[in-house]
Amino acid sequence: MFPVLLEFGPLRLFGYGAAIALGGVLTFRVMWLRRARIGLKDDESYWALLNGLLLSGFGGGHLLYLAEYARPGTPEFRQYALSLSAGYSVFGGFIGASLFVVLFARWKKIPVLRLADTVFWCALFAHVFGRLGCFLAGCCYGRPTSLPWGITFHDPRAMLPPSLLGVPLHPTQLYEAVGNALFAAALWRVLRASDEGRLAPGLVVAGHFAAYGAMRFALEPLRGDTLPLAGALTVGQGLGLGLLAASGAVLVWRRRCTPSC
């Protein structure tokens, strides 16, 4: 839609990067306000958490994207390997951030599930802006549609095949942005109930995994950039099922957990 928002000579403000930056600033503010609730005792711990999440989330997301879409030695691999404007898989971000949250909680001796609830609520909130960035960049595009709300891309710099320029497409990026916003609103109430002691920790992260996994599974047939996995199943659907399984695992862990975990 708007892969480049502004240009000043050789300088460019990319739509994807701008959306990610805005979402990041707002998300970091929420996490800063909740730092005491998740057991962070000093500012250094907050910044260690933040930097670790950025590295693990974006690193995991970038690596999985390369594994899915670009083979070493191909032009796509060279294009995306060092790109900061594209090349990210949300599922890889889940994996990287989840591993870091567990390690960080053990290191700081704070409850894993309470930390995970805040981190993954913030991730869900940030994902709204991430999908808006995808919409601006033209990545994660939908299949052609005749529905009245189909979106047409005209900028040749948009990250979709040239053959789809000028063709009405499902706005799958906006479908996910709206879905994530609704999930975030619902899970905020759950997070507040956990803060007040009315619910045990763990429901937010489990709810996030289940909601996004189910939504992604349902929306995959509308996407135009899917990769086959097995039969009619796509890679995205397989990873969505993996998130649903992870949600179940969190719920089992939550039931067996002591208050300290």
Residue-wise pLDDT for 199-257, tens only, equals 989 999 999 999 999 999 999 999 998 877 887 889 889 989 999 999 999 999 888 87
Residue 190: closest CA among 126, 120, 249: 120
- Residue 163 is given by DSSP the state G
Least confidently predicted of 4-13, 82-91, 102-111, 154-163: 82-91
DSSP 3-state assignment of 154?
coil
Report the C-alpha gap between 143 and 56 in whole angstroms: 31
Q: What is the pTM of this model?
A: 0.86
Report the C-alpha gap between 230 and 236 in whole angstroms: 11
Report the C-alpha gap between 236 and 182 in whole angstroms: 21
What are 53-106's pLDDT values in tens digits?
999 988 888 787 777 766 666 666 666 666 655 567 788 888 999 999 999 999
111: left (phi over 0), alpha (psi -120 to 50) or beta: beta
Q: Map tokens 């009315």 to a residue.
A: 198
Q: Which residues touch 76 (CB under 8 Å, ≥6 apart)?
A: 69, 70
Q: Is residue 261 scored above 80 in pLDDT? A: no
Q: Map tokens 């708007």 to a residue.
A: 2
Q: Residues of the chain with pLDDT > 70: what percent?
A: 90
Report whether 216 contacts 192 (CB < 8 A): no
pLDDT at position 75 = 66
Least confidently predicted of 24-33, 75-84, 119-128: 75-84
Report the C-alpha gap between 133 and 158 in whole angstroms: 12
